[in-house]
Amino acid sequence: MFQAVTKTLSVASTTYVCRGILLGIRHYCKKTPTKLRVSQALSGADLGANVKVQGWVRSVRPQKANVFLHVNDGSSLQPLQVVAGAELNDPLLTFGSAVEVTGSLKKSPHKKQPVELEADQITVIGECNPVDFPFKIKERHGLEYIRQFPHLRCRTNAFSSLLRIRSEATTAVHSYFRENDFVQIHTPIITSNDCEGAGELFQVEPSGPEIVEDEYFFSVPAFLTVSGQLHLEVISGAFSRVYTFGPTFRAENSQSRRHLAEFYMVEAEISFTESIEDLTKVMEDMFKSATEHVLAHCVEDVDLFHKHVTPGHRDTVDAMMKSSFPVITYTEAVDILNRSSEKFTFPTDWGCDLKTEHEKYLVKHCGNAPVFVTDYPYDLKPFYARDNQDHPERTAAAVDLLVPGVGELCGGSLREERLDLLSARLEEAGLEDTYSWYLDLRRFGSVPHGGFGLGFERYLQCILGVDNIKDVIPFPRFSHSCLL
């Protein structure tokens, strides 16, 4: 009787599956395909190997003897070219379909791609009707168009590049803080504090049949956080350098190109500092360090934006990286605005808040480079900003970083560490009871300290030149829009 056998052999760290019949019948061995990401395949490290690639079809070119596919899995802007015999063509093999391809990875004879995959087998995993699919092959769709399809826009080159850049920029921010001895703190999303004092809060309210009206789940009104700053100040009483990086929320009824209801903030707090320069140094160093990292690790993705979405913006980025960010006071800024020939929509009197049009003008006036504006009027800043006690103007030790194309990117201040002055200001605002815990921070081992927050989406707008903030976040939330 013949006996069928199946045996797995390990030869030189390579696994083979061998099947055959005993008693002299022929055996054969087939190497198990190595699963690769597209970016790994394009590196050419596995030339000659039997590999498996899974991804989505970006183009299909059937010819008489062959069919050519471009397949991408999100790991690279460049797709992998797949060459297959015409017999492997399938009516379901369309633009947008998901496929699994096995074959041999070989050096490409064409200059446009370093390698190509000679397919032995192509399996369509997920069908895609190219007629109904909102993105068309060989068409370049604008950011405004693809924004209409938040559930599908990650399939486009522009938005997949944005997501890779965003991921790398996140890594760069964390790397900067780790290398500079900051401790990451996970500050809460649900809070009872209104850090900014603007009242633009989303209140958290439980729902369900057992909820009793007028009873708070947390016993006090609770809101989605507008900032992690106050919680960082708590931790800065025991750690000299801390930061947080997470979502924040503003219930601002705006659909402008600058505002979101949910966005990400990078916030830092530094203890034992009495100098605004300590804050501006960290802001500038972090900006340049993160940008340098992104430019080095996302070359093709950044080039896509600088060449096709925002042509010419690379020159602006390069200039920002080379310049030292100048510092002017709010008083000097108002003087610059008043001496200009520009016709502003909003007034520029001393004591007025600087609007976006003012911020962008100041950036241009300073050579289209980032500029720090310090010493704002005391009444424009929240209760925690340190009083400079510089009568008669009375300013606060606060600073904003203004950047090209965006305006305000960072905002920060030294914090009022003097108990008597802080207590008086909270009492004047009727907040002394609400923030009694904040006063305790000044009673028990308080030190001079300060910090800042950077809008992460605005940072991405700045380095890529993207005009609308809704195009630099995966799922934008704003008034009258919460899709998905």
Mean pLDDT to the nearest integer, 114-139? 94
Cβ contact 345:357 at 8 Å: yes
Phi, psi dihedrals of residue 244, rounded to the nearest 5°: -140, 155
Q: How is 258-298 classified by DSSP, letter by letter?
A: S--SEEEEEEEEEES---HHHHHHHHHHHHHHHHHHHHHH-
Q: Looking at the chain, how many residues does it have?
A: 484
For residues 200-217, give the mean pLDDT. 78
Fold of 34-126: OB fold (Dihydrolipoamide Acetyltransferase, E2P) (2.40.50)
Predicted pLDDT at 109? 86
| Distance from chain centroid for Cα 134 | 25
**What does the CA dihedral 114, 118, 124, 129 come to, rounded to 10 degrees?**
60
Per-residue model confidence as pLDDT tens digits over 367-406:
999 999 999 999 999 999 999 998 778 999 999 999 999 9
Average pLDDT, the chain: 90
DSSP 447-462: --EEEEEEEHHHHHHH
231 in Cβ contact with 417 (< 8 Å): no
Pure H helices in 86-211 = 143-146, 157-179
153-471 maps to CATH 3.40.50.1370: no
Residue 193 burial by Cβ neighbours in a 10 Å radius (0-12, 13-18, 19+) = buried
Helix (H) or strand (E) run with residue 316 in it: helix 313-322
pLDDT of residue 24: 43
Q: Decide: helix, strand or coil at residue 378.
A: helix
**Distance of alpha carbon 71 from alpha carbon 155, whole angstroms:** 12
More confident residue, 109 or 170: 170
Spatial neighbors of 272 by CB under 8 A, at least 6 apart, are 240, 447, 448, 449
For the chain, domain boundaries: 34-126, 153-471
Q: Do 34-126 and 153-471 fold alike per CATH?
A: no
pTM of the full structure: 0.90
- CB proximity list for 467: less than 8 A, separation 6 or greater: 257, 310, 405, 461
Cβ–Cβ under 8 Å, residues 252 and 200: yes
The residues with which 451 forms a beta bridge, in sequence order, are: 269, 413
Quick: pLDDT tens for 449-458. 999 999 999 9
17 pLDDT exceeds 60?
no
Q: Is the pLDDT of residue 428 over 50?
A: yes
28 pLDDT more than 70: no
pLDDT at 30: 57
Give every CB contact of residue 42 below 8 A, 6+ residues apart in sequence. 76, 78, 80, 113, 114, 115
Average pLDDT over residues 168-186: 98
User: 302-339 pLDDT, tens per residue?
Assistant: 999 999 999 999 999 999 999 999 999 999 999 999 99
Helix (H) or strand (E) holding 11: strand 4-11
DSSP 422: H
pLDDT of 279 above 50: yes
CA dist 319 and 362 (Å) reads: 16
On the question of pLDDT at 115 being above 70, the answer is yes
- Which residues, 6 or more positions from 212, have their beta carbon under 8 angstroms from its beta carbon? none
Residue pair 269/232 in contact by the 8 Å Cβ criterion: yes
Predicted confidence (pLDDT) at residue 354 exceeds the cutoff of 50:
yes
Could you tell me what percentage of the chain is helix, strand and coil, using 3-state DSSP and rounding each to the nearest 5? Answer: 30, 30, 45
Q: Is 294 left (phi over 0), alpha (psi -120 to 50) or beta?
A: alpha
First-to-last alpha carbon distance for the chain, in angstroms, is 63
Which one has a higher pLDDT value, 205 or 466? 466
